[in-house]
Structures are given as C-alpha cells and as structure tokens.
Amino acid sequence: MIEFKGVTKRYGAKTAVDAVTFAVRPGRVTGFLGPNGAGKSTSLRVLLGLDHATSGEALIAGKRYRDLTFPLRTVGALLDGAGPVPDRRGADHLAWIARSNRIPRSRVGEVLEAVGLTDAARQRTGRYSLGMRQRLGIATALLGDPEVLILDEPVNGLDPDGIRWIRSFLRGYAGRGRTVLLSSHLMTEMADTADDVVVIANGRIVADGALADITEGHPSLEDAFFALTGAASKQVWS
C-alpha cells in the first residue's frame, strides 16, 4: 500500500508537484500517467526519499521509505536518475546493492537471468545499450524480491520483446498480491497493463480510479488522457 498525502515539491519558485494525494492498492497494477514534465518522477523521488517534500508526506506500508530497515527487501525501484557507474561491471553493480541490504549474493545471478542479461554480467555498464541499462535497472528493482515495485517509465528503451516481457511480468507480480506502481507518458502501453490509473498534469492529480471508470465515455484511454490533461498537453506539444 502506497499513500501520497498532500505532497508538494517546489524547486525554487517552480512548483513541480502540488498537493498530490492518492493511494495505490496491492494486488493491482497502478499506472501513473501524465505528459512530460507533469511531476511523475518528482512524486516518485519524494516517495522514495530522494527528494525532500516541501510539505506533505508519502508512505509505503504506513512508513516513510527512509524508516524501512533494508528498504530494498520491501520496495524495488527503477528511476531514470539512478544509473550504474559506467566503469563497473553489471554484476558488480548488483553485488554492492545486494550487500547494502543483506540480500543473498545468489539473487544477482537470478535477476540477471530474469531480465536476460546473464551474458552481459561481466561487461562494464558503460558498454551497455540503452535497453540493456534499462534491463539492469529492472534487475536492480527486483533484487530484494520486494512486495512493492515502483517503476518510472520502465519501457523506455526496451524493444518489443522487452516490452511484452515486462507487461506480463508486472501483471503476474500484481497477481500474486503485490503492489505495482508504474509511470508513463504513453497511454497506449497502459491500456493493456494497468488496473487502476492516476493521472497527473501540471503537478496536480486530475483523475484517479479504475481504468474502466477513467475511460468511460471516451473512445479510448488516449482520448480520456487528452481530455483530462488537455491544457497541460497543449503546453508541451504546441
């Protein structure tokens, strides 16, 4: 269970996220949707204790992220601003992370296998392609076999095979009663993956509910998205 309670984040004069409040339930895939610059990454960074909220709080299982002991065993996260150092080997990158949370070393091989990076384990991550880096990020999130998965734009850089794999993987993950929150600025990919959606535009939540309810009265999720975020999207695209 993830709860945002009135989270506001300002960077100087810029309000990136404004009184964001919503909850994410276990056993479902929740899509966090919004156009570029809407405040998705910022919300997730606050949730994960990377950025300090200007006001409000975000909790996971009733606790702030930083109050979790060995947090990677409860929460797995993929963020675009949290990559591996290029001169380290992929397996070594996972190894130090595992060690920091007393996760058995054997998990490193398991998650590499799960994301299809076994052959690249001994390569330095500076040599990885965009998609391989993304896979390594997903492997990192899975390392602690967490109850809660938080993925910021997980399909970025993935090929069609990778996209199909992550979709069915996430559906299976939520199917086992776990919590999955994933952000995206692409509607089409959410239509087949998410049970619930939370839509953010200009730092504010504009819709929150079951996918079916949000799309009701619109020909597609994409139409619903443009209707909900219209003003914000025009700013970006016009």
Partner 1 sequence: MSVLTAAIGAELSKIKSSRIVRLVTGVVLGLHLLIGAANLGDTTTAVRNIGADGLIEIFAGERVLAGEALVDLLIASSLQIVVMFLPVVAAVIAGQEFLQGQLAQSVLSVPRRGILVTAKAVALVLYIGVVAVLVEAISSAYLYASVQDWNPGLVYAAGTLAEQARLLALAVLVSLVSFAITTLARSTLIGVVVSVLLMALTMTQVLARTVPSVDALLPVSAGRNLVLDAADADLSSGPVRAAVVLVAWAVVSTLVAGVVLSRRDAR
Ligand X SMILES: Nc1ncnc2c1ncn2[C@@H]1O[C@H](COP(=O)(O)OP(=O)(O)OP(=O)(O)O)[C@@H](O)[C@H]1O
User: Which residues lie below 8 Å from residue 175, measured CB to CB, with a gap of 6+?
Assistant: 27
| Residue among 98 and 166 whose Cβ is closer to partner 1 | 98
Q: What is the CA radius of gyration of the chain?
A: 18
| Residue among 49 and 209 whose Cβ is closer to partner 1 | 49
Where does this chain bind partner 1 (CB under 8 A)? Answer: 45, 48-52, 65-66, 68-72, 77, 79-89, 92-93, 95-97, 99-102, 124, 140
Interface with ligand X, residue 14, by CB under 6 A: yes
Interface with ligand X, residue 37, by CB under 6 A: yes
Using the rule CB under 6 A, which residue among 30, 31, 42, 128 binds ligand X?
Answer: 42
Between the alpha carbon of residue 44 and those of residues 77, 98, 156, the distances in Å are 9, 22, 16
Using the rule CB under 5 A, which residue among 41, 43, 74, 229 binds Mg ion?
Answer: 41
Interface with ligand X, residue 70, by CB under 6 A: no
User: Which residues lie below 8 Å from residue 86, measured CB to CB, with a gap of 6+?
Assistant: 124, 125, 126
| Residue among 32 and 173 whose Cβ is closer to Mg ion | 32
Nearest Cα to 55, choosing from 4, 6, 3, 2?
6
* Chain length of the chain: 238
Stretch that binds ligand X, among 36-44, 83-91, 101-109, 131-139 (CB under 6 A): 36-44
For the window 159-198, what string marks contact with ligand X as x by the rule CB under 6 A? --------------------------x-------------
How far apart, in whole angstroms, are the C-alpha atoms of residue 215 and residue 224?
Answer: 6
Q: How many residues bind ligand X (CB under 6 A)?
A: 12
| Residue among 67 and 223 whose Cβ is closer to partner 1 | 67
Q: At closest approach, how far in Å is the CB of 13 from partner 1?
A: 16
Nearest Cα to 170, choosing from 179, 158, 161?
179
Q: At closest approach, how far in Å is the CB of 231 from partner 1?
A: 28
Q: At closest approach, how far in Å is the CB of 9 from partner 1?
A: 9
Take residue 36 and report the two structure tokens written for it.
């570029």
Q: Where are the alpha helices (DSSP H) in 115-220?
A: 130-142, 160-175, 187-191, 211-215
Element (H, E) at 98: helix 90-100
Site residues for ligand X per CB under 6 A = 11, 14, 16, 34, 36-42, 185
